[in-house]
């Protein structure tokens, strides 16, 4: 089967998430990276393209030029991955979407609510797909958690506890020539939310994706603990869901001893589920009144819906890159089926808007002393 031709915007040398997207696109052999505007700096764009083996004439330093030319090429790209800092998501996505090139965009959707709304309009008008890489939803056991809750294994959901602590911003990294820290703590590039936008959106998305619940209101207490930091680096959030369930969300980038400790716990009238991203191949399930059981990704507790989402037997750990690859492989299937639409769980513009509303609500609530605010 021929590979889908992929382009990339952003992701030059020094970048983190660009490399992740490239690996994720390769794992299942569905994509071939053939073009890129990997940097807006011509020299860096060329060097980065050459390092990746891109043809010089498909190595751009301007995503608009890239969109225009690739749309005209007979063998132009089918899809583009957008892996820039947040503030460039919208301008870049727009150029491709309006030319019918599918977009696979990193999260959060945009850096501002204004841009997010424009993005939604562009997506609506576009004839191309828009996929947002809320990659943690690609973990097989996250899918199983969602399916178990959907079929009622936990009964009515009462409590959702989600947390996402990291520690890499415990000190003032942004003034120490750390590029990742620089743009992620710069409101102009990252958006009003710091930790809330960078990782809180993941936590929120995961909680909603798994529980199947929609949050109505939240109360948020945001902090910037490091002197001079311009965005939040720690957030405490209380959530109220439709139907009466309640939740707490904690995200932090100043919690020493935590690398990337996204963790979700959901409790209902009949049982509970607990999953941690750093041990993604196992999940605790308790049916109330019975012993705890440890379900494994591809073991005897697996539901079978993992077909296509796992590649190895139980005990052969898969991780972050494979979960990310699951989104790419589902994207490939959708792109191949296009314009027919498949039933799939790929996050798109709705998940993106939802994340933007979350950040916006957190910032608004916190500005009003953690008053309850409605999610837009």
Give 135's Cβ-side CA count (13 Å radius): 22
d(CA 195, CA 202): 10
Tokens of 236: 């405490």
Q: How far is the CB of 166 from a copy of itself (least distance, A)?
A: 7
Of 267, 275, 328, 358, the residue at the interface with a copy of itself (CB under 8 A) is 267
Q: How far is the CB of 148 from a copy of itself (least distance, A)?
A: 12
Q: How far is the CB of 10 from a copy of itself (least distance, A)?
A: 17
Of 308, 319, 342, 350, the residue at the interface with a copy of itself (CB under 8 A) is 319
Residue 121 or 175: the one with the smaller Cβ distance to a copy of itself is: 175
Which residues within the stretch 9-48 sit at the binding site for a copy of itself (CB under 8 A)?
A: 16, 19-20, 22-23, 26-29
Q: How many residues does the chain have?
A: 376
Which residues within the stretch 170-209 sit at the binding site for a copy of itself (CB under 8 A)?
A: 170-171
Q: What is 212-234 written as a DSSP string?
A: ---EEEEEEEEE--STT--S-SE
The residue count for binding a copy of itself (CB under 8 A) is 90
Residue 47 or 159: the one with the smaller Cβ distance to a copy of itself is: 159
Closest CA to 6 of 31, 26, 27: 31
The reply to whether 253 sits near a copy of itself by the rule CB under 8 A is no
Of 55, 65, 68, 269, the residue at the interface with a copy of itself (CB under 8 A) is 269
d(CA 281, CA 99): 40
The reply to whether 260 sits near a copy of itself by the rule CB under 8 A is yes
Q: How far is the CB of 94 from a copy of itself (least distance, A)?
A: 29
Rg (CA), the chain: 20
Q: Please choose, out of 60-68, 168-176, 327-335, 356-364, the segment that lies near a copy of itself by the rule CB under 8 A.
A: 168-176
Tokens of 10: 């952003």
Which residues within the stretch 351-370 sit at the binding site for a copy of itself (CB under 8 A)?
A: 369-370
Q: Please choose, out of 5-13, 188-196, 275-283, 326-334, the segment that lies near a copy of itself by the rule CB under 8 A.
A: 275-283
Q: How far is the CB of 255 from a copy of itself (least distance, A)?
A: 5
d(CA 255, CA 165): 6
The reply to whether 147 sits near a copy of itself by the rule CB under 8 A is no
Q: How far is the CB of 171 from a copy of itself (least distance, A)?
A: 7
The reply to whether 86 sits near a copy of itself by the rule CB under 8 A is no
Of 71, 147, 187, 284, the residue at the interface with a copy of itself (CB under 8 A) is 284
Q: What is 297-365 written as a DSSP string?
A: TTSTT--STTTTT--S-TTS---HHHHHHHHHHHHHHHHHHTTS--------HHHHHHHHHHHHHHHHH
Cis peptide before 11 (omega within 30 of 0): no
d(CA 354, CA 216): 11
Q: How far is the CB of 219 from a copy of itself (least distance, A)?
A: 6
Residue 71 or 238: the one with the smaller Cβ distance to a copy of itself is: 238
d(CA 93, CA 103): 6
Q: Please choose, out of 86-94, 310-318, 328-336, 350-358, the segment that lies near a copy of itself by the rule CB under 8 A.
A: 310-318
Which residues within the stretch 42-81 sit at the binding site for a copy of itself (CB under 8 A)?
A: 51-53
Interior angle at CA 187, CA 184 and CA 190, nearest 5: 40
Number of Cβ within 10 Å of residue 259's Cβ equals: 11
Mapped onto helix, strand or coil, the DSSP state of residue 145 is helix
Of 43, 56, 74, 291, the residue at the interface with a copy of itself (CB under 8 A) is 291
d(CA 313, CA 328): 21
The reply to whether 329 sits near a copy of itself by the rule CB under 8 A is no
Q: Please choose, out of 100-108, 142-150, 238-246, 344-352, the segment that lies near a copy of itself by the rule CB under 8 A.
A: 238-246
């Amino acid at each position: 089967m021929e590979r889908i031709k992929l382009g990339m915007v952003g992701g030059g040398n020094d970048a983190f998430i660009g490399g992740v997207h490239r690996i994720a696109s390769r794992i299942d052999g569905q994509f071939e990276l053939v073009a890129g505007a990997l940097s807006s700096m011509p020299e860096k764009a060329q060097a980065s393209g050459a390092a990746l083996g891109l043809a010089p004439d498909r190595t751009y330093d301007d995503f608009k030029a890239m969109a225009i030319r690739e749309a005209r090429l007979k063998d132009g790209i089918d899809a583009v991955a957008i892996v820039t800092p947040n503030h460039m998501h919208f301008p870049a996505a727009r150029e491709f979407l309006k030319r019918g090139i599918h977009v696979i965009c990193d999260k959060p959707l945009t850096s501002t609510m204004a841009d997010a709304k424009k993005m939604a309009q562009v997506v609506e008008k576009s004839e191309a797909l828009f996929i947002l890489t809320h990659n943690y939803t690609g973990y097989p056991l996250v899918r199983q958690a969602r399916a178990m809750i959907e079929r009622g294994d936990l009964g009515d959901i009462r409590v959702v506890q989600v947390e996402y602590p990291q520690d890499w911003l415990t000190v003032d990294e942004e003034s120490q020539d750390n590029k990742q820290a620089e743009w992620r703590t710069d409101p102009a590039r990252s958006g009003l939310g710091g930790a809330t936008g960078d990782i809180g959106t993941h936590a929120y998305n995961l909680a909603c994706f798994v529980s199947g619940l929609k949050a109505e209101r939240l109360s948020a207490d945001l902090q910037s603990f490091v002197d001079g930091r311009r965005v939040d680096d720690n957030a405490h959030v209380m959530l109220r869901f439709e139907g009466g369930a309640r939740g707490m969300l904690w995200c932090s980038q100043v919690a020493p001893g935590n690398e990337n400790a996204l963790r979700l716990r959901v409790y209902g009238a009949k049982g509970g589920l607990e999953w941690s991203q750093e041990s993604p191949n196992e999940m605790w399930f308790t049916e109330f009144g019975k012993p705890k059981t440890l379900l494994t990704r591809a073991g005897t507790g697996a539901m079978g819906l993992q077909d296509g989402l796992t590649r190895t037997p139980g005990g052969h750990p898969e991780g972050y890159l494979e979960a990310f690859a699951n989104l790419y492989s589902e994207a490939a299937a959708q792109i191949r089926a296009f314009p027919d639409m498949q039933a799939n769980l790929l996050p798109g513009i709705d998940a993106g808007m939802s994340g933007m509303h979350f950040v916006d609500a957190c910032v608004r609530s916190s500005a009003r002393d953690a008053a309850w605010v409605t999610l837009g």
